[in-house]
Structure formats: structure tokens, C-alpha cells
Chain A
Amino acid sequence: MKIVVCVKQVPDTAGGVKFNPDGTLDRGAMLTIMNPDDKAGLEAALRLKDQYGAEVTVVTMGLPKAEEVLREAMAMGADKGVLVTDRVLGGADTWATSTTLAGAIRNLEYDLIITGRQAIDGDTAQVGPQISEHLDIPVISYAQDIKIEGDSVVVERQYEDRYHVVKAKMPCLITALSELNEPRYMTPGGIFDAYKQEITVWGRADLKDVDDANLGLKGSPTKIAKASDKVRKGAGEKVSLDPDESVSYIVDKLKVKHVI
């Protein structure tokens, strides 16, 4: 079985958010990580590899620096890494990004494509389903469990108040939730091997069956009219009192605000 996993390098927002004195986000001070949902997708692929045997190829699109997440993925156990990087691909929205990734994946053999549900920077959850549309294969989003049955996958697909057990013939694309699993750590031997291996680097010319009109900033149907760091509501009061005084304090406030 051949599995393609799409991953994205994102700024680390969990626990490591830094603000400028004016309250805006200090992006330069933040570290980059492999997007958590993507890491769960990779872990799911590696578990299928452990269980059934599979070749796992990790694909990322980004700046040359995004090679770091491919090395990390290979140190966790992925077999191959493909970096899609080219200036003309920059500034892409989800349509142009999914067009690019589909163009790269057309060069690869796959039974299964796994993406994270969404990245923690954009939070759109759109790229996975859009890749599946470009490749004309079924998609199962929000996977909380993945099993292989012969030439099909059986997936628990999460909704707000239920889940569906869904069966699809491969090839198929699945978007993974970070709740899916607890990703493994890189092993020392894995890290050593990961840095010995070649990473495939593809540019615009290597993308298959894509039109320039659908790539990069120019090929993005959505345009940013305005972007700003959110001005947060300022902090209110903060008190440190003994429990009885704390209780009186809250009760008084709720009275003043006519809650009680």
C-alpha cells in the first residue's frame, strides 16, 4: 500500500504565543512546528504502515525551510519526502494550494492520501477536501479512526453529535483530527537516517496537469482586502483574596450586573 501524507509547517501558537507591546502578534518570536492535525495524519499513516505494511511519502508545500518538517516526518518513520517550493506558488489561497498539491500528488502512486483536518494558522479545513476534488477521489473528513479492509478503508467520521462509520474504496483522501492518536516521537536512529536521505524538491515545472492561471497569488480567487492583528478586549480586574472574600467579590459583581 502507498500512502501520501500532506503536512504543513506552521508557527507554534499553542503555549508559545508572543505579543508585541502594542498587543499584536510577534510572529518573528514564534517557533515553527509540524501542524498538529497533520502530525496526527502522519501518525495514522505510520500505524497503517506498522500494521499492514506501506510506503509513506510526505509532501509539503512552502518555503525551502519547510524541509524541516519533512526531516521530522522521516525521523518519525516516513519513507520519502517531497518539498514543493517555487516563488510562483507563493501567496496561494486554499484553491491555489490544493491545485498545487494535487499537481504534485499526480506524480506519485497512492492508495490513500491523508491530510490534517486544518492548520492552526489558517484554520480553514479546506485544502484536504479540495485536493480530493481535483483528483476526483472520495474524501472522508474528520476521521477519528481508520482501518483497512481489503481494497477499502473504513473510517469513523466525526460530526457534532454523532459519528458515521463510512466505507470507501481506495484511492481515497482522509482528513485527520488531532484527537485521532498520540503521535510518536522521533527516534535517535530515525533522526540520523532522516538527515542522510534525499528529499525530492519540485517546482512549478514538476506539477502535473495544472494551469498557471490557478497557481499562487494570481491564481487565488479569494483576495485579502484587509488584515490586522485583533485588538483584544483589555483585562478587567484581578483580585487575590481568601476564599470567603473571593465569594463575596463575585457575588457583589453579579449583583451590580443584575445577573442575580
Chain B
Amino acid sequence: MNLEEYKGVYVFAQQVDNEISSIAFELLGKAKDLAKDLNTDVTAVLLGSGVKALADQLAEYGADKVIVVDDPELKDYRTEPYAHALSSVINQYKPEIMLVGATAIGRDLGPRVSARVATGLTADCTVLEIGDFPLQAVPGQEQLHNQLLMTRPAFGGNTIATIACPYNRPQMATVRAGVMQKIDPIKGAKANVEEFNPGFTPDNKYVEILDIVKSVAETVDIMDAKILVSGGRGVGSPENFKILEDLAEVLGGTVSCSRAVVDSGWKPKDLQVGQTGKTVRPNVYFAIGISGAIQHVAGMEESDIIVAINKDADAPIFDVADYGVVGDLNKIVPKLTEALKAEIAAAKA
């Protein structure tokens, strides 16, 4: 492998139902920073069926070039045709960096593609930067420059590791949603589109989709919410989430929850905060009846202000809360809602 041949920062531009996922724009924002450091450009790889018209959106968010693989086999996500398309693009265009969102699609596609093109893949990165490997020069070992340094949490968020892929290309990473910043869109930007089709020959690896069942869409994505009112098992019942919803409504916030709540079937998975749910960083995070297992904390500890209400004074959530209140959520939350309502009304008057 001649590493010098590999150039450019590439982003897998995930789309679902021919709508580009927010993570694609986030990755483009980061890719622009990396490309600047490397003095190279940013390419988005758009796979799907009838998706060419989406390319300009990618240009608006920072793609210098868009490679489009448009084929009926790519209509709905299936591992094999997508892995074939993306690895063919990699083999043809030889990117030095390939970024993929750490979504339910990307965490399936990324490993399959990295194994096919025989390179490393770092999962669920939260920080990406260009630097040296090894970080400090070591006698007897060549220090390589302009490497992608990929930082990720492990151990349920308790450790962080910075990882490089010095001797293989592309350097591949999946990146957690909600962590990287999109650029302000450049209105009216037109994409420099290159169409590419590697050909698709269905074999045993092409699975058949028998049905697609969509869950009822929640009105707000918890990752976009400025105020989250999050409930745990301590809320006691699905009905009792009403008091959290009332609080959220007063503040213009959104209700989210812990894994225990999803596992109990009280709330859908897309409201789950944590290691196996979503990473959120709202202005205010209310943790109500949430004990604060590290897997949960990993998904919310970057919130600006954390307010915890829990009857157990020893609950680990108090270790990360800015303002912790030991007490009965059933008594406190409804009163808090009323008090805030009065405050807000008074402020308006």
C-alpha cells in the first residue's frame, strides 16, 4: 500500500428515505477543519436511489465534491450493496480519511467496509484532529506527521483513548452524532458532482427487506433540544411521565429518558440518552429519578447545566450534577412546574 497515493477527506453522506441525515452535515463541518490542516479538499460520498438532487445540500454544508452512486439496489439501506459501493469508491478514489456517522447504519457499514479494504476503523469518535504519531518523538521510531488522531470514550465513558491508523489507508472513523459542528450553510452552493457506479451483482449477501416498520415520529429530536427533562426508573410509571412533560412544556423543553425506561417499555428508544442511546448537550438537563449509571452519564455529562432530583442521596447522578436536590420527585416536580409558570408569567408582565 503506497500511502502517498491516498488524498483528501471523505465523508459518507448518509441519507434515509432520500433525506440527508444531520450527521452527514456534522461530518462535513469537521472534514472541512481536517482538510484545511492537510491542505486538501472535502468529498461527500452519496449512496442511494434517485439521490442526485441532494448533492447541492452537501455543497452548502462544505463538500467541495460529491461522488454519487445512484442505483436501485441502494434504495433502502442493506449492508452488502452499500458496503460494495463505498469500498469501490475507496478503491477507486483512494481517500486518506473516510468519516462515517456512528449511527445504526454507519456502525454496520463502517466495520464491513474497513474489513473489505483492509484498514483500521476507530468507533464512536468524539474528537478528531491532525497530529503526529507517536504524539512525542520516540528514539528509534519514525514520527509520522499529518496523521488523523481519533479520540473516543471506552469503558462506558470511563476512559478515553486517542487512536491513530499510521500504516494503513484510508484512516477510518465512525463519529458520534451530535458532537461535531455543522458550518452555516452556504446558500445556493452548487455541487461538483461526479457519478460513479461500480455495478451491482446480487449474491447471497444481498439480504431481502420484507417490511419496513417506522416507529411513531417524535416531534423533536432530543439531540436538538435546548432543555431536556429526563426521567429514569424513579419516575415509577409511564403515566407519571406526565409531570415531566408538564415541566418540559413550561420551559419549552423536551422529555427524554434513561435506558431503564426504554427497557421497561415506558418510552421509545429514540428518547434514550446514554451510551447505547443518544449523546445530548442541552443548555439544561434535568435528571429526574435517574440514578446516573456511567452509561447514562456518558451521554449527558457535556450538558451546560445539570439539575438532578433523586430521593437517594448517594445516587451517582449527584457526582455530575451542578445542582442536586435530594427529595421526592413527585412532590417537587409539580411544584417546580407551577413556580416556573408563575416566574415566567411575572417576567412577561
Whole-angstrom distance between the alpha carbons of A249 and B212 in the complex?
48
Q: A95-B119, A159-B104, A240-B325 are in contact. List 15 more A-B contacts (CB 8 A).
A: A25-B159, A123-B275, A124-B124, A129-B115, A138-B79, A162-B212, A163-B212, A167-B207, A225-B149, A232-B319, A236-B322, A240-B313, A247-B339, A251-B336, A251-B343
Mark out the residues of chain B between 83 and 138 whose CB falls within 8 Å of any chain A CB in the assembled complex. 83, 103-105, 107-108, 110-112, 114-116, 118-124, 133-135
Closest chain A residue to B208, Cβ basis: A167
Residue of chain A at shortest CB distance from B153: A230
Q: Which residues of B contact A159 (CB under 8 A)?
A: 16, 77, 104-105
> Is A161 touching B79 in the complex (CB atoms < 8 A)?
no
Instruction: Please give the distance in Å from A179's CB to the nearest CB on chain B.
Output: 7
Instruction: Say which one of B162-170, B191-199, B234-242 lies at the interface with A.
Output: B162-170
Pick from B119, B165, B207: contact of A168, CB below 8 A: B207
B319 touches A93 (CB 8 A): no
Q: Which of B160, B214, B293 is within 8 Å of A161, CB to CB?
A: B214
Task: Answer whether A125 and B111 are a contact pair too, CB < 8 Å, given A13-B156, A167-B207, A253-B323.
Answer: yes
With A164-B76, A222-B165 already in contact, the answer to whether A95 and B320 are too (CB < 8 A) is no
A17 interface contact, C-beta 8 A: yes
B120 and A93 within 8 A (CB) = yes
Residues of B close to A232: CB separation below 8 A: 301, 319-320
For A162, the closest partner residue in chain B by CB is B214
Is B186 at the interface (CB under 8 A from chain A)?
A: no
- Interface check B283, CB cutoff 8 A: yes
Binds B, one of A57-65, A139-147, A188-196, A200-208: A139-147
Q: Say whether A161 contacts B339, CB under 8 Å.
A: no
- Residues of B near any A CB (own CB < 8 A): 16, 76-80, 83, 103-105, 107-108, 110-112, 114-116, 118-124, 133-135, 149, 153-168, 204-215, 217, 227, 251, 262-263, 269-270, 275, 283-284, 293-295, 301, 305-307, 309, 313, 318-328, 331-332, 335-336, 339-340, 343-344, 347
Q: Which residues of A contact B (CB under 8 A)?
A: 11, 13-15, 17, 25, 93-95, 98, 120-130, 132-134, 136-142, 154, 158-169, 179, 220-230, 232-233, 235-244, 246-251, 253-255, 257, 259-260
Provide a sorted-by-A list of 20 A–B residue pairs whose CB atoms are within 8 angstroms: A13-B155, A13-B294, A14-B293, A94-B123, A120-B295, A140-B79, A160-B269, A167-B208, A221-B168, A223-B164, A223-B165, A225-B149, A229-B159, A230-B158, A240-B313, A243-B331, A246-B309, A250-B323, A253-B322, A257-B284
Partner of B114, one of A95, A121, A255: A95
- For the residues of A in contact with B, the DSSP-based class is mixed
Check if B217 sits within 8 Å of A161, measured CB to CB: yes
Contact indicator A133/B116 (Cβ below 8 Å): yes
For the complex formed, measure the closest distance between the CB of B255 and the CB atoms of chain A, giving whole angstroms: 17
Question: Given A123-B275, A225-B163, does the pair A164, B209 have CB atoms closer than 8 Å?
Answer: yes
A230 to chain B, nearest CB (A): 5
A159 to B295 Cα, complex, angstroms: 20
Complex interface: chain B residues within 8 A of A95 (CB): 114-115, 118-121
Taking chain B's interface residues, is the majority helix, strand, or loop, or is none over half, making it mixed? mixed
Q: Which residue of B lies closest to A258 (CB)?
A: B283
Q: Which residue of A lies closest to B124 (CB)?
A: A123
Which residues of B lie under 8 Å from residue A17 when comparing CB positions?
Answer: 156, 158, 294
A142–B77 alpha-carbon span in the complex (Å): 14
User: What 10 A-B pairs are tightest by C-beta distance, nearest first?
Assistant: A221-B120, A222-B120, A236-B322, A133-B115, A124-B123, A238-B324, A126-B111, A129-B111, A165-B211, A243-B331
Option from A94, A136, A254 in Cβ contact (under 8 Å) with B121: A94
State in angstroms the CA–CA spacing of A233 and B122 once bound together. Answer: 25
Q: How far is the CA of A127 from the CA of B211 in the complex (A)?
A: 27
Return chain B residues, CB-CB under 8 Å to A226.
Answer: 135, 161-162
Contact A235 B164 (CB under 8 A): no
Which of chain A's residues has its CB closest to B213's CB? Answer: A163
A235 touches which of B213, B284, B318, B336 (Cβ 8 Å): B318
Chain A residues with CB under 8 A of B340:
251, 254, 260
Instruction: Say yes or no: B76 contacts A130, CB within 8 Å.
Output: no
